[in-house]
Every structure is written in C-alpha cells, then in structure tokens.
C-alpha cells in the first residue's frame, strides 16, 4: 500500500489515561473483594463450628461468640470498602482527554487527513485503469478499420480460388487484430471482458496468479485519440 498507515495518537493517549484510571479503580475493587471474601470465610467458619457442636454435643458458645464478633467487625470493613470504592469511582477525574474529544478529533481531523492522502492515489489508479481499457477498445476499432478491407479482399480471393478449382476449400481469412489472443480471449473486446471478469472474481477472494501490485500510477503516455 502506498499510503503509510497513520497512528491515531489521541486515541492512544485516551487509552493510556483510561488504563491509569482503571488501575486505580481496580485497587479499590480488589480491596473490596478481599474484604468480602474474608466475611464469607468467617460466616462459613461460624456455620461449620455451630454445626459441628450440634453433631458432637459440644459447647462452642465462646468460640461462636468470638467468630460472631469478627463477623460484625468484618461487615463494617466491607461497608467501608464499598463506600470507598463508590466515592473513588465518583471522584476519579475523567482525564484530560474526553471520549467526545476522541470522536470529534477522529471525524474532523484524522479522517480528512487520511482521505486527502488516499483519494488522489486511488483516483489516479482508477482513471489510469479506465483509460487503459478504453484505449484497448480504441485499438480494437483502429485494427478493424486498418485491416477490415484487407480481410474482405483476401476472403474474396479465397472464394474465387475455390470456385475456379484452384483450391479444394475456401481458406479462412482471419482478421489480424480481431483474431489476436489477449488475456486468453479472442480480440481486444474479449480481453477487456476478461479483465472485468477477473476483477469481479478478485472481489470474491480469487486473485489472478500473475497479478502484480502497482503502488503508484506509472507515467502515462498520451496518444492522439
């Protein structure tokens, strides 16, 4: 590709700011999850101790009371961590670059910049392709005009040879350019149709084996037509 892909730097900066904010949020969230995990652990411990005391007929009152106090304290820890996480999320600055800035910069600056570089290159290639195809058709017409009369005369002579017994059959009088093989087809018009067909196939994923990418439009030699 002739055009070197441009980096959308503002988006990269926006991502980096977002990553920094996410890391800070993640720390508060990690502290909260740790506190919740400890609370679940204490609750599980209380249930296990209570159940075992019933199964074995033992007195676990003191132990259960201690676990229950720990659960109460841990609930307070969880509440504080939830509050801290909520407040941090609300207070965390959005950063210098807003999401609106990113979209506006993309639409109003980045896209026009890339388009301004891309359009003239592709436009020149398509115009060259158009001119080449039309030039082939003109060549076909010129060939028809240049050799048509000659072919007709040779065909007439061939018919006369047959009628006069000089030959056993009428020899075919091929047109020099119309019978030419181009792009595997007969004549320039057939070749043009084959090019269009191969382009159609390429859009569906079938690249010609002899395809060569042309990065820039070669210098065009203008004819008299």
Residue 196's Cβ-count burial label (10 Å; 0-12, 13-18, 19+) is exposed
**Rounded to whole angstroms, how far apart are CA atoms 118 and 124?**
10
Handedness of CA 117, 121, 127, 133 (dihedral sign): negative
Provide the pLDDT for residue 215.
85
Q: How far does CA 62 lie from the centroid of its chain?
A: 67
Model's pTM, two decimal places? 0.62
Kindly report, residue by residue over 85-124, the tens digit of the pLDDT.
Answer: 888 888 777 778 888 999 999 999 999 999 999 999 899 9
Q: Identify whether the C-beta of residue 54 lies closer than 8 Å to the C-beta of residue 46.
A: no
In the structure, what pLDDT confidence band is assigned to residue 219 with cuts at 50, 70 and 90?
Answer: confident
Q: 136: how many CB neighbours lie within 10 A of its CB?
A: 18
Q: How far is CA 132 from CA 6, 81, 96, 126, 221, in A?
A: 32, 72, 52, 10, 11
Percent composition of the chain: helix, strand, coil (DSSP 3-state, to 5): 70, 0, 25
Q: Identify whether the C-beta of residue 49 lies closer than 8 Å to the C-beta of residue 65.
A: no
Kindly report, residue by residue over 139-167, the tens digit of the pLDDT.
Answer: 999 999 999 989 899 999 999 998 998 88
Provide the pLDDT for residue 1.
54
pLDDT: is 75 or 5 the higher one? Answer: 75
């Amino acid at each position: 590709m002739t055009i070197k892909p441009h980096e959308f730097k503002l988006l990269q900066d926006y991502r980096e700011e977002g990553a920094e904010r996410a890391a800070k949020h993640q720390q508060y969230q990690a502290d909260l999850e740790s506190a919740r995990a400890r609370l679940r652990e204490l609750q599980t411990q209380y249930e296990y101790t209570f159940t075992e005391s019933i199964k074995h007929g033992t007195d676990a009152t003191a132990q259960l009371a201690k676990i229950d106090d720990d659960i109460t304290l841990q609930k307070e820890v969880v509440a504080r961590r939830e509050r801290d996480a909520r407040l941090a999320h609300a207070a965390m600055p959005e950063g210098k670059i807003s999401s609106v800035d990113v979209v506006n910069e993309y639409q109003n600056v980045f896209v026009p910049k890339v388009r301004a570089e891309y359009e003239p290159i592709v436009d020149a290639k398509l115009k060259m392709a158009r001119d080449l195809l039309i030039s082939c058709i003109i060549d076909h017409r010129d060939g028809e005009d240049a050799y048509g009369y000659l072919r007709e005369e040779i065909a007439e002579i061939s018919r006369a040879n047959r009628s006069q017994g000089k030959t056993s059959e009428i020899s075919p009088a091929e047109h020099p350019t119309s019978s030419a093989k181009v792009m595997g087809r007969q004549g320039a018009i057939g070749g043009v149709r084959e090019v269009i067909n191969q382009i159609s196939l390429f859009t569906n994923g079938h690249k010609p084996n002899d395809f060569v990418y042309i990065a820039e439009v070669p210098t065009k030699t203008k004819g008299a037509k």
